[in-house]
Structure 1
């Protein structure tokens, strides 16, 4: 079968600059960055309790945008249709790295303002129920890696992008609980949250195991890919892709687990220094460090 990109390369096609670096997507990412700095700069005075945004948060958000571009706008995206290992590397960046960095980089006062309208908060509360978030992401992730589904998705660009957006949306749902920056919106914490992270990792295991331990080619879409690079046999490329995804997932969830544990430890040992246990604490708003609950007021947003 093979993907469209594989067939092009097999016939000697040389990808153009725009196909490898996607200037349109780069422009989109740059606009997001400009909007962010306008938000935390000139537009900040329009928001209530809008504290200055720390350099750490700004760096985090810019890192998120860089991660997004590497995953969706760099040559990694094009060659992710050729090599399954590169495809899973792209998936890992998009689903395991970008969402937490993006949320951590946003000002808390902006998140509160976005969620202030009643209808927005209503749907947000429904979609971010812990069990729903846990179930939805892992369901769509597992379905995506069913051979019949992935082979179909990879043949149609529009379908592929739509499913990517669906996976990204549900990834934000599951990461919200792990790194929730708004104290009053934290639904689960401490032991329950650690159990949530553990369950999230376990539920991803079957899809990764299917790929890692397969003794034959699982995805026809990648039947030609590794031969073009002459680096890995097809089966090795497939198995390495599963290993990459699982390793990145374990690392990302491991950092999240340590973050949750260290916050719990500080609650039980309040004399511990803010950054002594968990370096991610420096990215959190001051009111969350002090465990205060601030209720949004009416009027300006």
Structure 2
């Protein structure tokens, strides 16, 4: 392992090996977060969400994992992308104080644009179909060979991921008025849309991604086909785990809301006699 690290350092240089550029960008982003939210009440949990997202982004886009995912392991590339698209966005959204979001989306134009972008089913189609197209071998093999094209594609995917997770989380209910039922259906739809590419990666009989077919030095015992199937496992595993957590939270809040008494109705049902009695 140390020999592999040494080879990577000698090939890419220490600056790129440790992702110094990404690290500096994230430090500046953290300072900006603290400055912009300083006027608002930020809970410890929100700070934890933000800095967890920052650390995860650095680990998978700035650390040696990013180099390994670049031309060594397809599974590392999938793992990197799944963390950046399925874990970083929800943590980032939940790290923002509601009052800060309200002040930012105060103008009618911004609210109108955001309502249009976060319409449930178009946003689900936009993200999941784009991600499926990204992993289609003809598209992926071209994109991975051109740094600017790859960066542009991944930036768009990250933007679409934020829109999708905004729709699921609905941090401003007054702006994105989606019931729990709609959000549950939305998550099920999103899960189904990624099913074809997940099955393709897991069930295919031979490797399709040319850059990773030549073999790699990180895990010599892992074949190109096994690497591709492992990538499919990462894709479905992280997707289903994050969607499962979101479903659990939404349905728990839904159940809690259903249990709350309706203040507009002045009577409770008396459990023992089945006779309503007036609220005090």
Return the match for 2:19 from 22, 26, 30.
22
Return the match for 2:56 from 54, 67, 89.
67
Runs of 5+ unmatched residues, structure 1: 1-8, 45-49, 272-301
Task: Out of 171-180 and 151-160, give the one that drifted further.
Answer: 171-180
* TM-score of the two chains, using structure 2 as the length reference: 0.86
CA distance in 2, matches of 1:55, 1:248: 26
* TM-score of the two chains, using structure 1 as the length reference: 0.80
Larger radius of gyration: 2
Runs of 5+ unmatched residues, structure 2: 1-6, 262-280
Pairwise mapping of residues 180-259 of structure 1 onto structure 2 (< 5 A)?
A: 180-226=170-216, 229-259=219-249
State the structure with bigger RCO (CA 8 A, min sep 6), 1 or 2: 1
Pairwise mapping of residues 45-56 of structure 1 onto structure 2 (< 5 A)?
A: 50=40, 52-56=41-45
Which residue is 2:269 aligned to? none
Q: 1:79 to 1:194 in 2, by over 3 A?
A: same
Partner of 2:59: helix, strand, or coil? Answer: helix
Cα pair 1:130 1:177 within 8 Å, conserved = yes
Once the two structures are superposed, residues 243-262 of structure 1 have per-residue CA deviations (whole angstroms, 9 ceiling, x without a partner) of 01110000000000001101
Which residue is 1:283 aligned to? none
Cα pair 1:189 1:260 within 8 Å, conserved = no
Q: Aligned pair 1:261/2:258, yes or no?
A: no
Which residue is 2:270 aligned to? none
CA distance in 1, matches of 2:112, 2:16: 41
Q: Aligned pair 1:136/2:126, yes or no?
A: yes
Partner of 2:178: helix, strand, or coil? Answer: coil
Task: Out of 17-26 and 182-191, give the one that drifted further.
Answer: 182-191
CA distance in 2, matches of 1:228, 1:101: 30
Instruction: Give the C-alpha shift of residue 225 in structure 1.
Output: 4.1
Pairwise mapping of residues 74-93 of structure 1 onto structure 2 (< 5 A)?
A: 74-81=63-70, 82-93=72-83
